[in-house]
Structure 1
Amino acid sequence: MKYVTGIIVLLLLQVTAAFSAPATQVVTEARVKEVVADFVRERTANLGVETAIKRIGPLPELKIPVGTISYEIQAPASWEGWGRANLALIVRVNDRVEKNVPVNVEVEALADTVVALRSLERGDTVGPGDVAVRKLNISALPGKVYRSVDEVVGKRARMAIRPNTPLRGENLEKIPLVKSGQLVTIIAESPALRLTATGRARGNGAEGDIVMVQNLGSLKELPARVIDSGTVQVDF
């Protein structure tokens, strides 16, 4: 009799445990990859690149409570959406965080990229015939790459550049129009008034750069924007 009673009690405990265990659902690896792919597409939309996810994970299946699932992916602020990155996948059920999963990704990106057609020596000015646009995988290229010929024509090579080299921000610089010590015309104007004065540049500057200039009348120094080779403008 005691043996039968023990079996009944055991069965009752098993039934109770089965009813009391919280229901769960599974987020598959395939679903996580879909979420990551959607995130990459949204992050690179309208950037003029064609992305392809080369690798995600590996990722485990995620067991979470039953309920309404929502996903959030957090990425480093500096990540443009291609190359390698460590992302964080946050899974919520009924707006409550249930999982925070690290996700390693590697994304390729094809984009129009400016390349040198010939060897450029340091100090050479880039002309229209010196460069061309080709579609390249930019995911492994560090730093900013130039995407159009207009961005580079008229700039100066900061270093020697070999043919077929993708041009990046560090390769080129704007040619200074104003040099330190040069006399310049300082312009200050508003819709109703225009004033000019003679000044002396205290630094080199290309078009649009801000340089310090000394007003030779007042001897005061103030920041001014370079307009051309002999003119700078100050805020009125």
Structure 2
Amino acid sequence: MRRLLPAVLLLVFSLYASASPTLQTIASARIVDIARAELDACLGDDKAVAQVDVVGKPEDVQVLSGGLVIKARKPEGRWPRARVGMPVDISVNGQVVRSATVWFAVSVHHDIPGYAADAAMGTVASTLKFTPHDADIAMLQSAVVTDPSQINGMRLRHAVLAGSPVLLEDFERIPDVDRQQRVDVMASYGVIKLQAKGTAIGRGNTGDTVLVLVDGAETPVHARVTDKGVVQVVD
């Protein structure tokens, strides 16, 4: 029996070893390369002017042996941006078994429209002048105005400084009736139609109801905006 014991133990160990799953290692550098390739594809034509640096990478990854596929996913949210995490899925035999994220610092410089001079809040867009300025568009938090038609009928929602980029979020649509605006007030009482002048207390667009103080009146009335600078008193 003692003579058989070593042989039995050897058989048990060999059976255990054959039953244990084998692993494969994916090097961190390979994951980074795949993430970088997807990032370059997302940059498109901007790849030529972009500066990209790896600022965070995963460790080597071990997974079970089998058919291996490593695929990076497109980043979500605003693009391009200064910091971007590229998620990478690792699949074995068609099933995702691990995911890793590679972090990049991104800089993309372009000549974009900038304000030619300081401008105050409320300035009508059509009166503004723009000149090209170099900017890192990955640092911007809003879309850039690339065509004047994008801001037709709009005005600045805040003051801007010369040289700062022209962003869509800088603007708001000019309402049909604005606060403290002089308006034409229309009123109907049966077949009787009246017209007067007044001052809007609130602001709104066609279809909205605002408070208006009619000239000579002590209290404001509710009026519906029917056109630019025109309101109709409602019951």
User: TM-score normalised by the shorter chain: which range applies?
Assistant: 0.5 to 0.7
Offset from partner CA, 1:118-163 (integer Å, 9 cap, x none): 1112232345772123342122222333234543576422222111
Match of 2:217 in 1: none
Which residue identity does 1:164 align to in structure 2? G
2:69 matches 1:73: no
Match of 1:212 in 2: 208
Please give the alpha-carbon distance, in whole angstroms, between the structure 2 residues aligned to 1:103 and 1:48. 18
1:132 partner SS? strand
Which residue identity does 1:71 align to in structure 2? K
1:99 partner SS? strand
TM-fit CA distance, 1:46: 7.9
* CA contact 2:116–2:129 (8 Å) conserved in 1: yes
* CA contact 1:203–1:211 (8 Å) conserved in 2: no
Offset from partner CA, 1:74-102 (integer Å, 9 cap, x none): 744x3434232445432211221210224
2:92 matches 1:93: yes
How many residues align structurally? 206
* CA contact 1:88–1:103 (8 Å) conserved in 2: yes
Which residue identity does 1:110 align to in structure 2? H
Which residue identity does 1:106 align to in structure 2? A
2:73 partner SS? strand
Match of 2:218 in 1: none
1:145 partner SS? coil
Offset from partner CA, 1:35-81 (integer Å, 9 cap, x none): 323333444558999544322522111122221314253744x3434
User: Percent identity of the aligned residues?
Assistant: 19
1:139 partner SS? helix
Larger of the two Rg values belongs to structure: 2
* CA contact 2:115–2:166 (8 Å) conserved in 1: yes
Match of 1:173 in 2: 172
Match of 1:38 in 2: 37
Alignment root-mean-square deviation, CA: 4.4
Match of 1:123 in 2: 122
* CA contact 1:146–1:167 (8 Å) conserved in 2: yes
Please give the alpha-carbon distance, in whole angstroms, between the structure 1 residues aligned to 2:12 and 2:183. 93
* CA contact 1:69–1:91 (8 Å) conserved in 2: yes
Match of 1:146 in 2: 145
Structure 2: gaps of 5 or more residues: 186-199, 211-222, 231-235
* CA contact 2:81–2:140 (8 Å) conserved in 1: no
Please give the alpha-carbon distance, in whole angstroms, between the structure 2 residues aligned to 1:128 and 1:139. 28
TM-score by structure 2 length?
0.62
